[in-house]
Structures are given as C-alpha cells and as structure tokens.
Chains A and B, each alone.
Chain A
Amino acid sequence: MSAAAASTALASPAVLAQARPRVVVVGGGAGGATVARYIAKDSKGAIDVTLVEPTRAYYSCFFSNLYIGGFRDFDSIGHSYGALAARYGINVVHDWAVGVDRDGKSVALAGGGTLGYDRLVLSPGIDFKPGSVPGWDLTEQNRMPHAYKAGSQTQLLKSQVEAMPEGGVYCMVAPPNPFRCPPGPYERISMVAHMLKQSNPSAKILIVDPKEKFSKQGLFEDGWQRHYPGMIERVGPDFGGDSVEVRPASMEVVIDGEATGVDVCNVIPAQQAGRIAAAAEITNDSGWAPVVPHGMQSRVDENIHVLGDASLQGDMPKSGFSANSQAKVCAMAVRGALTDSKVFPARFSNTCWSLIGTDDGVKVGASYEATDEKIAKTDGFISQTGESADVRKATYEESLGWYAAISEDMFS
C-alpha cells in the first residue's frame, strides 16, 4: 500500500468550517460501542460522535452463560460508558431512539429530543418476533425468562435454576435460525448442567429445538456425554421440536400436542432486528436490515450503516465478535466519507468460544471478505472432538483473554 492518497482530517473543509460532521450511533453493544470509540479515537476529534444507549451499564451477552454456570460473577460482565465520554469526547445519551427521519437526517428520542446526523449507525441488536412461541410474550418473561439480552433476565434465570426442586426439569425452547450467538443456547445448556450436576444432580434438562442441527453440535454432544451423562435430552423437529406451545400459568410446555410440566422454562423466541431498524424502514421481509458489505451501509439509505445482529450481511454469525469486526470496517468507511481519511479494503473475522465444562473450552472461527453480494466466508476452523485436556484448557484460557481484550476494545 502506498501513502500516495494520504490526506488528514484537519484538511477537511467540514472541519475548517467549524461545523464538525456528526455521527449518531444507536445501540451501545459490541457493534455500537466499538464503532463510536473507533470513529472518535481515529478522527481525533474531527467528527462529533453521539452514542444513544438506554442503559447506563452494559452487561455483555457473551460470557453471561459463564455467569449462569458460576464461572464469572455478575459484575465482571458489566461495563460502563464512562471512558467513551471522558477519554474520547463521545456524547453518551442515555435514552431510547424511537424514530428516524431519513429525509431530515435526524433521530427522535423517547425523551423528546432529536439528534441530527450526517451519518447514522444503527446497532440495536435483536428483538423477539411476536407470536413465534405460542403462549409466550414479553409479559411472561418473568415466569419464563429468555435471558437472551443480558442483565436482569440473566440473573432471574440463574436464580430460577438455583431454586429448582430436587430432580426437577429445566426446559429450553431453542430459537429457529437465524438468531444471536448460534452456540449460545447450547453453551447455556452446558452451564446449567454444570450447575445442576453440583447442586441438583438428579435434575433433567430438556431442549425443545425447531432446528435439525446446531452450531458445534458434535462438540457439545460429546461434552455432554462426558460431563453430564443422562441429564440432557433434546427433542428435534422430527419429534415435534418445531411445534411447541408454552403455558406460563401452569408451567407447562406442549410439544406436538402433549403437555409436560417443567420447573424452569427458558424461552428463546425467534428474532429480528432491534425495532429502531424497522422504524427507520430499512429492514426487509426477513426482519433484518440488508447492508452493502464494503462499509456496512444500508442497501436502502446510504447515510445509514447497520452493524451486528441487526444486519443482514451474508455469512457471518450474529456474534459480539462479528459486530466488533464489522464496526471497525464501518468506522473506517464513515471516517473516509466524512473526513476523506484513507479507506482500506474491508476485513472481517469471527471466533466464538464456548465453555462445556470446567476447563473444557471449544471454539469455531472464520474469516470473511466483502463481495458486492454479501460478506462471504473465505476460510475457517473448528475445535475437534478428542482434543487433549491441555488443549481444551488453553482454549478456555484464550476465551478469558479475548473477553478482556474485546471489552477493552469497546469501552476503555
């Protein structure tokens, strides 16, 4: 690469005119926090960055299963936005974005304010598709938690597992594709099993799953055999896993017409982009927002970028790692558009670690390139069954290093 096209933010007319270009980022997770931080950091103040995020403390979905399993304390998965404001001058607004005026280029906040933008980045994560699990809606999330947005729901689910009667039944209604964190439900099963094995070893775990197969299936099933023999049963679509209804009042799960009483019911419904994406009218029939891979720009509106779970981008799994990777490509594209800084070819990568039992970590990863059509997988790897205990332990320790580093990459 030559430095021939070098130009600096300070040379930009927009800066000289004193009105700094404005970027509004909606959603302060792995996509939003990262893109806000990178734009502010790398533009060195030439771009005015506002981050809209309703919660004051971010609890990461990644590693929330490890909290359920007792491997992390709750505080260790919580992060503040303080450094983003203090260190990079990001305007952190704790409010809900409720609407986007695309023609007027402004975002409406629930608190009544509006925020004008030159570029808008939406990284709202997921919402649940109404009616996807008959009998369940958000009013039932305390009886039957989803725990698929980390925070109080995660704490609730853990406490329900701890309170299960001896020999009781934990049921998970697993989601259909595509959904946030493909190995997530199955790591959660591993962590619940780990906890029950110690405190309630005669308890049973039932997975009701609409999918034929799932991420890292061979690795999880091998691990469940070794660590939790006889504890876990999975009902796939061939036995009615795709035809499930729940009855929160009586704590029953109805599989293919047959009702079963359970003690804990973790319902993870079908998912779609966080609702601000639909409000901005940039989603399609799938419920997700299609993007141009090279800079994560919406295919509907070139002034809007969409990151992470909410985006419809191609081959990358919906993961915090993916969102963080996409955010860096997006930050570069936004800076290039607003300040004429150099734009390099997009690079994407993802690795997902999962913990099956103590010191028994596995991982799957891939690299990707941007094509005009989609983000396309170019290469990949996955852990193997039969790996030594040392390899599995090193993989787990690696995940701890990753968690520390990505947290720093988002928030510090």
Chain B
Amino acid sequence: MTARFSASGNRSLSNKAARTFKTFPMAGVMKRAGPSMLASAFLAFAPVGGATGTGAEKGRALFDQCKRCHQVGSGATHRIGPHLNGIFGRGAGSIEDYRYSSAMKAAGREGLVWTEETLDEFLADPRGMIPRTRMGVAGMESGEDRAALLTWLLDFSGDGGGLPTAERTSTPEEYGLDPRILEVAGDPEYGAYLSSQCTTCHSAEGDERGIPSISHWPADDFVIAMHAYKQGKREHPVMQLVARQLSDEEIASLAAHFLAAGHEP
C-alpha cells in the first residue's frame, strides 16, 4: 500500500520523535461554555506558548472535521470511528474491539501500517486509497492542512502521557438541542421495524458507497444526529424528511436497534 504514496515535504517519524512532547493544562479549559462552544473549542485547546504553538493550533482546529466520529486523548473510546490513541505505527484495522469495514481489515492484512506518510495519503482521499472504507468523507485537499493535523495528532496520540481528556464526538448543546433527548428510552423491536426504512439506502452490511454506514453507531451520536436533522440544524433534504417523521421515542428506538443489531445474519 505504501508504495502508492507520493510524499512531498512530509516529515519523518524519526524527526518527529525528537521533538518535545507537550503537555496541556486541560482540566480547566475543557469546560464547555455553551451552545457556541464550537468556535471557542479551538481557543480552549490552543497550547499556552511553546515553539510549535501556531502549527498545533491549526492542527487542533482541523481536528474539528474529524471529531464527529473520532476521539483522541485520555479516556477516548470508539465512536462512529475507532479512537485514534496510539495510531502511529499501528496496523490498519487492527484494534480488536472496533468493527472495521472488511476493506480496512484486508488493507491491514496486506501490511498497511499507519505512519505520517500513509495517513497523509489516506486523509487526502480515503476512498481513493481504500475504496470500500467506511470513512466516507471527501478527503482533505490541502497537503499543508494534512501535515498540520498529523503533527497535532502525533503529539497527542504518540504515547499515553499528557493527553488531554478526549472530547465528546457530539453533544446536544452544539446543535442547541435539549440534552434530555439522550435520556429517552427506545424499544429495539420497534427500532428493528423502523430501521427497514433506513436500510433501503444505508447498507445493512455497513458498506460505505455514497451513503454513510450507520450500523453500530453509538446511540448518543445517532440520537443527536437525528434530532439535529429534525430541527434543520444538520443539512440533508432526505435525512431531514426522514427525521421529521420520527418521534423522540422512535429516534431512540432506532438508535437502540442500530447500536445492537447492525446486520442480522
């Protein structure tokens, strides 16, 4: 896989390892200010001083594009995507308890290891590199942006020490939603019936071709996303239409179903 990568101006792992590992006084600044936290999160994560401050700030800001699916840092867990702690040097699709696409696992078996170079290629065009990956995002065009993001990520996920607390992938507050939507109980059996409406477009197998996979999504992320569509705070005409038909209980039921069931054999 790595043979297809055309590096231009990327720093090597060994150079990076020589850099000082920064620690961040996160406990205080991680507190959320309210619905407008998206804009302020960038500032909250900015390191206080330090030689590489500007690059790290940029990388942190760019991670906003990733954080709806990925967590990194202390306490990070798998969400829609796998957590990114310790990703550098790890084989693709190799964490035991995350359900990767079969394409990602196959890439790992063929020897793909995540390095700055391979991650740079992947971020530039995920489906160009691994056509059936579940990471169905368009890719980050700018090489400078990718380098900044990877630099920041390498700082945080390089080892276990000094990591900030992992940010939540999504919160009701970021869409101005009532946090009580997360407390609504769902009926997985009802969710299973309702889900048949979803699988017309969202592959039950979890394939990722033009329409995102929703199998095995964490329930909170699912509920927040659907309510955001319902309130018109996430854009997509089909999803807004679907969400507008669903009650709070029905959304919770779907979340319960997709978390547990995914594809039934």
Cross-interface CB contact of A405 among B211, B245, B264, cutoff 8 Å: B211
Cross-interface CB contact of B211 among A38, A328, A363, A398, cutoff 8 Å: A398
Known: A365-B241, A381-B241. A41 touches B210 (CB 8 A): no
> Are B200 and A381 in contact, CB atoms less than 8 angstroms apart?
no
Known: A3-B189, A328-B196, A379-B245. A401 touches B201 (CB 8 A): yes
B187 surroundings in chain A (CB, below 8 A): 1-3
In the bound assembly, the distance between CA atoms of A398 and B200 in angstroms comes to 12
Instruction: Tell yes or no: B207 within 8 A of A by CB.
Output: yes
Residue on A nearest B245 in the bound complex, by CB: A367
Instruction: Tell yes or no: A344 within 8 A of B by CB.
Output: yes
> Are A325 and B200 in contact, CB atoms less than 8 angstroms apart?
yes
A402 surroundings in chain B (CB, below 8 A): 200-201, 210-211
In the bound assembly, the distance between CA atoms of A410 and B36 in angstroms comes to 44
Nearest chain B CB to A348's CB is how many angstroms away?
Answer: 8
Instruction: Tell yes or no: A6 within 8 A of B by CB.
Output: yes
B245 surroundings in chain A (CB, below 8 A): 347, 349, 367, 378-379
In the bound assembly, the distance between CA atoms of A402 and B209 in angstroms comes to 8
B193 surroundings in chain A (CB, below 8 A): 328, 332, 342, 344
Known: A2-B187, A402-B210. A409 touches B238 (CB 8 A): no
Instruction: Tell yes or no: B28 within 8 A of A by CB.
Output: no
Instruction: Tell yes or no: A406 within 8 A of B by CB.
Output: yes
Nearest chain A CB to B107's CB is how many angstroms away?
Answer: 20
Residue on A nearest B246 in the bound complex, by CB: A347
Known: A3-B187, A405-B211. A367 touches B203 (CB 8 A): no
In the bound assembly, the distance between CA atoms of A405 and B206 in angstroms comes to 9
In the bound assembly, the distance between CA atoms of A172 and B207 in angstroms comes to 37
- Contact count band on A: 35 or more
Instruction: Tell yes or no: A123 within 8 A of B by CB.
Output: no
Residue on A nearest B192 in the bound complex, by CB: A42
Residue on A nearest B127 in the bound complex, by CB: A397
> Are B242 and A367 in contact, CB atoms less than 8 angstroms apart?
yes
Instruction: Tell yes or no: B253 within 8 A of A by CB.
Output: yes
Instruction: Tell yes or no: B178 within 8 A of A by CB.
Output: no
Residue on A nearest B187 in the bound complex, by CB: A1
Chain A 355-399 interface 0/1 with B at a Cβ cutoff of 8 Å (1 = within): 000000001011100000000001111010000000000001111
A-B contact count (CB 8 A): 98
Instruction: Tell yes or no: B190 within 8 A of A by CB.
Output: yes
Nearest chain B CB to A354's CB is how many angstroms away?
Answer: 14
Nearest chain A CB to B198's CB is how many angstroms away?
Answer: 9
Instruction: Tell yes or no: A114 within 8 A of B by CB.
Output: no
> Are B200 and A406 in contact, CB atoms less than 8 angstroms apart?
yes
Chain B 206-218 interface 0/1 with A at a Cβ cutoff of 8 Å (1 = within): 0111110000000
> Are A328 and B197 in contact, CB atoms less than 8 angstroms apart?
yes
In the bound assembly, the distance between CA atoms of A70 and B210 in angstroms comes to 19
Instruction: Tell yes or no: B177 within 8 A of A by CB.
Output: no
> Are A324 and B241 in contact, CB atoms less than 8 angstroms apart?
no
Residue on B nearest A378 in the bound complex, by CB: B245
> Are A363 and B238 in contact, CB atoms less than 8 angstroms apart?
yes
Known: A321-B200, A342-B189, A344-B193. A401 touches B211 (CB 8 A): yes
Instruction: Tell yes or no: B202 within 8 A of A by CB.
Output: yes
Instruction: Tell yes or no: B41 within 8 A of A by CB.
Output: no
> Are B242 and A405 in contact, CB atoms less than 8 angstroms apart?
no
Instruction: Tell yes or no: A404 within 8 A of B by CB.
Output: yes
In the bound assembly, the distance between CA atoms of A251 and B200 in angstroms comes to 41
Instruction: Tell yes or no: A400 within 8 A of B by CB.
Output: yes
> Are B210 and A399 in contact, CB atoms less than 8 angstroms apart?
yes
| 13 additional A-B residue pairs with CB within 8 Å, beyond A351-B238, A381-B238, A408-B204 | A1-B249, A2-B187, A41-B264, A325-B197, A325-B200, A328-B193, A381-B240, A381-B241, A397-B209, A402-B211, A406-B201, A408-B203, A409-B199
Q: Could you jot down 16 A-B contacts, CB within 8 Å?
A: A1-B249, A38-B196, A325-B200, A328-B196, A344-B194, A378-B245, A379-B245, A380-B241, A381-B241, A398-B238, A401-B201, A401-B203, A402-B210, A404-B203, A405-B201, A405-B211
Residues of A participating in the B interface, judged by any CB pair closer than 8 Å = 1-3, 6, 38, 41, 321, 324-325, 328, 332, 342, 344, 347, 349, 351, 363, 365-367, 378-381, 383, 396-402, 404-406, 408-409, 412
